[in-house]
A = this chain, B = another copy of it.
Amino acid sequence: MEAAPVIILVQPQMGENIGAVARAMVNFGLHELRLVAPRDGWPNPQAEAMATHGAEIIRHTKVYDTLTEAVADRHYVVASTARDRRMNKPQFTPPEAMAEMGSQQQQGLKMALVFGPERSGLSNEDIALCHAIVSIPADPAHASLNLAQSVVVLGYEWWQRAASESKKPLHETENPPAEHGEVQGLLDHLEATLDKTYFFKREEKKPRMWQNLRTTLLRARFSSQEIHSLRGMIAALEKGWRKP
């Protein structure tokens, strides 16, 4: 289960919740936890106290400043969110998401499952970094699960899938999608270039335009080779703009 998805908590607030997440992860064969800007810093004694048999996970938890950095070595990233965000991304039920992640795993790709802060959930900015959304079906009158409880449900579905799946032979795709860090390099390069070329025209329209564009580009799952070509193309276009 080396290639199980890593769990990423963005700006988690309560240490107890971080500990409860680690505890749940152990039950379902999930071993790596990453935190983005935890509110109370790190390490966190409350998290350790709550983790019980997940103490090993807490000991190895890494902390990042931004979600972009936390997913830099990942190929496939799924955001957990209760609300429908009306973004142009696949919206999965938990079994659908795990089937998809299982198929990514078969290709030897590295994955992450991302959870937002307790109160607010993931920002649209964070979700824009992800390839797909998974939502846990629940009573519409109380649709928002506790952070650790969401990890329990998705961990359970991950284990279900991993345990029930017949051992298919691994097959590497010919052109595997690049790690997120490479994609981010492409996006940063493109954004800087578009800024320089006044693509966005009015500054207040940029966030929405750029988010849609990023979503489109992420969905393509470019390979390293493709990203290399695209960046060459962008550089060429940029030079072109300077000429006339």
Task: Name A residues whose Cβ lies closer than 8 Å to a Cβ of B.
Answer: 20, 23-24, 26-29, 53, 136-139, 142-146, 148-149, 152-153, 156, 159-160, 163
Q: Which residues on the B side are within 8 Å of A137 (C-beta)?
A: 156, 159-160, 163
Report the minimal beta-carbon distance from A59 to chain B, rounded to whole angstroms.
16
* Copies of this chain, tallied across the complex: 2
For A136, give the chain B residue with the smallest CB separation: B156
Contact of A28 among B139, B152, B160 (CB under 8 A): B139
Report the minimal beta-carbon distance from A113 to chain B, rounded to whole angstroms.
16
Once the chains are docked, how many angstroms separate the CA of A152 from the CA of B150? 9
Query: Beyond the given A26-B139, A153-B153, could you list 7 further A-B residue pairs with CB under 8 A, ordered by the A residue number?
Result: A23-B149, A27-B143, A27-B149, A53-B142, A139-B159, A145-B152, A148-B149
Interface pair A159/B138, CB less than 8 Å apart: yes
For A144, give the chain B residue with the smallest CB separation: B27
Interface pair A146/B29, CB less than 8 Å apart: no
Q: Which residues on the B side are within 8 Å of A152 (C-beta)?
A: 145, 149, 152-153
Q: Which residues on the B side are within 8 Å of A136 (C-beta)?
A: 156
Q: Which residues on the B side are within 8 Å of A142 (C-beta)?
A: 26-27, 53
Q: Which residues on the B side are within 8 Å of A145 (C-beta)?
A: 24, 27, 152
Enumerate 10 A-B pairs (CB-CB under 8 Å) in ascending A order.
A26-B139, A27-B138, A27-B142, A137-B159, A137-B163, A139-B159, A149-B152, A152-B152, A152-B153, A153-B156
